[in-house]
Amino acid sequence: MISGFDFEGKVVLVTGGTRGIGRGLCEGFLELGARVFTCGRKEERLEETREAFLRYGERFEALRCDVTNSSELRELFKIVEEKESKLDVLINNVGMNRFTPFLLDADEATWDRIMAGNLKSAFLVTKMALPLLKSSQGAKVINISSIAGRRASPGMGIYSIAKAGLDMFTKVLGAELASYGINVNAVAPGVVRTDFSKPLWSQPEMLKEIESHIPMARIGEIEEVVGAVIFLSSPMANYITGEVFVVDGGAQVW
């Protein structure tokens, strides 16, 4: 039987790991013994995360980086490469949205920002990570997508388009990187209890309406997304690539 979820000696990079799902992922991999790097744009959030994870010592490092900026990414990977000779797991977790009631009313800057945060960043990070991923034995890339990429969602038009693009990015890379022994998959959560989705679940009537369309009759929790990512990052998922795993309590069933 393949050994399960032991990440001792593994090196993990989680982009956008200072809050929400990203932070949960950092903690999940640290609890399983991994060496974890994360990055973010805001120094105050990075410092708060460093302090929260002090118990993990040198196994955790939080670095400032805008993952939509190539020059900042080069500096990030320079630091990682000085400390580690491989990268076993890459989690492209950075994502952002801005409410857009009508797609064609959005301005070009809003389009560019949402596309960069959700899609371009995954391309740039994975491209720069590839040499380190090739140095691992059985590296895994996991992209954090959304069920918004599978259906048109009111107020989330550009975000939905970007996540649909991320799903295809996952499939293309799953095929192209298979010859290097690198698996590429995505996890697409539904509504999860994070700050990102707080405008939805913090309003009782809206939450009730959302949950009425979910067979499990509740929204998701961060640890439930973390579990799916850890599975896909483990040897248990060695024969899975190019797939998008939906974690939504059955919302796509109806």
Output the DSSP codes for the chain. Answer: ----S--TT-EEEEET-SSHHHHHHHHHHHHTT-EEEEEES-HHHHHHHHHHTGGGGGGEEEEE--TT-HHHHHHHHHHHHHH-S--SEEEE-------BSSGGGS-HHHHHHHHIIIIIHHHHHHHHHHHHHHTSSS-EEEEE--GGGGS--TTBHHHHHHHHHHHHHHHHHHHHSGGGT-EEEEEEE-SBSSSTTHHHHTSHHHHHHHHTTSTTSS-B-HHHHHHHHHHHHSGGGTT--S-EEEESTTTTT-
pLDDT class of 225 with cuts at 50, 70, 90? very high
Q: How many domains does the chain have?
A: 1
| pLDDT, tens digit (0-9, with 9 covering 90-100), for 19-43 | 999 999 999 999 999 999 999 999 9
Parent domain of 36: 11-195+222-247
Residue type, 53: F
Sign of CA dihedral 234, 79, 125, 21: positive
Active site residue 180: no
Q: What are phi and psi of 20, to 5 degrees?
A: 60, -140
Question: Which residues neighbour 177 within 8 Å (Cβ) at sequence distance 6 or greater?
Answer: 133, 141, 183, 184, 241
The Cα 227–Cα 152 span in angstroms is: 27
179 C-beta neighbours (distance < 10 Å), count: 7
pLDDT at position 1 over 50? no
Angle at 161 (CA atoms; ends 240, 176), nearest 5 degrees: 35
Which one of the listed residues 56, 159, 180, 239 is annotated catalytic? 159
| pLDDT, tens digit (0-9, with 9 covering 90-100), for 69-100 | 999 999 999 999 999 999 999 999 999 988 88
In a domain, 1, yes or no: no
pLDDT class of 254 with cuts at 50, 70, 90? confident
**Using an 8 Å Cβ cutoff, are 63 and 82 in contact?**
no
95 C-beta neighbours (distance < 10 Å), count: 26
pLDDT at position 149 over 90? yes
In a domain, 24, yes or no: yes
In a domain, 47, yes or no: yes
pLDDT recorded at residue 125: 98
The mean pLDDT value of the chain amounts to 95
In a domain, 93, yes or no: yes
pTM of the model: 0.95
In a domain, 158, yes or no: yes
240 C-beta neighbours (distance < 10 Å), count: 15
**Using an 8 Å Cβ cutoff, are 153 and 103 in contact?**
no
Distances (CA, A) of 241 to 182, 186, 190, 245: 8, 9, 21, 11
In a domain, 238, yes or no: yes
The Cα 98–Cα 111 span in angstroms is: 9
In a domain, 3, yes or no: no
- The CATH number linked to 20 is 3.40.50.720
Which tokens go with 111? 């389009």
- Across residues 125-150, what is the average pLDDT? 97
pLDDT at position 2 over 60? no
In a domain, 142, yes or no: yes
